[in-house]
A = this chain, B = another copy of it.
Amino acid sequence: MNPLLDLSQRDEPIYNGWCTIPSSWSAEVMARAGWHSVTLDLQHGLIDYSHVVPMFQAIQLTGTVPLARAPWNEPGIVMKLLDAGALGVICPMVNTAEECARFVGACRYPPIGYRSYGPLRARAAFGADYEHSAQRSTLAFAMIETAEALRHLDAILDVPGLSGVYVGPADLSLSLGSAERSDPTNPHVLDAIARVAMACRARGLIAGIHCGSSAFAHQMIALGYRFITVSTDSALLSQAVRDVLEQLRGGRSSSRGGVY
């Protein structure tokens, strides 16, 4: 049911697109470009649940795996995302094993977890056997993005049912006192990132990370990361437009507002 598992078993990188624009059309544009999966960002993106169903329909239409980042570690929205057809959820700010168990439990039916039964769209989309296949193939990624999470890393990763982690370099840098927000070069941050990859590999978990560029992505793949996001729809659109305007103006930029 979830082709990302096959890639993972072959130790191949999963390329993941990142949607922040609340539109089923931009989601289709993203998905048609050829990512293995596309994630709807309900945390920092401008998307909420009311946009999710049409965007998942658009992503699934192209044969791409639909995922979502929850706005926070709250079981109601995690379960709604899964019922709507997410094949995996990324949960922000998982800092302890207890928080991880709360998140993972929301992604698994009893007796493993406490997910409530009623996979309305998921069962339509993934078949009558969804209840059982979902237990194996729903991906639960805990975000490791604070010093506290690093301190509890082993305990977090040992929570049964966790599929992998997703590193947020911006928050991790902030938490470790570094001023970088993307593609960090700070050795302390890079050490932590490397340590997370190794701890995942030791347990057969998928290590994922948000990258600002394909160069940093290649560096992360070399460290053992296999779930790889590069940039976002908003950032790629913004940069592409600014490049065109610079060409039109012979090199002069004239943007209005901060870059994102």
User: Measuring CB to CB, which residues of chain A are less than 8 angstroms from any residue of chain B?
Assistant: 13, 15, 17, 20-26, 28-35, 43-46, 48-51, 53-54, 57-58, 60-64, 70-72, 74-77, 79-80, 83-84, 92-93, 109-111, 114, 116-121, 123-131, 145-146, 168, 170-171, 174-175, 177, 181, 214-215, 217-218, 228, 230-231, 233-234, 236-242, 244-245, 247-249, 253-260
**A121, B34: Cβ atoms closer than 8 Å:** no
**A116, B171: Cβ atoms closer than 8 Å:** yes
Contacts A126-B258, A254-B34 known; A118 to B43 CB distance under 8 Å?
yes
Chain B residues near A29 (CB-CB < 8 A): 21, 124, 234, 237-238, 241
**A32, B127: Cβ atoms closer than 8 Å:** no
**A256, B76: Cβ atoms closer than 8 Å:** no
* From B24, B214, B254, contact of A53 by CB (8 A): B24
Q: Which residue of B lies closest to A45 (CB)?
A: B120
Q: Which residue of B lies closest to A63 (CB)?
A: B256
**A214, B244: Cβ atoms closer than 8 Å:** yes
- Provide the bound-state CA to CA distance between A156 and B219, in Å: 47
* From B124, B127, B174, contact of A110 by CB (8 A): B174
- Provide the bound-state CA to CA distance between A230 and B171, in Å: 36
Q: Which residue of B lies closest to A109 (CB)?
A: B174
**B57, A260: Cβ atoms closer than 8 Å:** no
Q: List 19 A-B contacts (CB under 8 A).
A: A24-B53, A25-B121, A26-B237, A31-B256, A33-B238, A33-B245, A34-B254, A35-B245, A43-B116, A44-B116, A45-B120, A62-B256, A62-B257, A71-B76, A71-B80, A72-B75, A117-B174, A127-B257, A236-B244
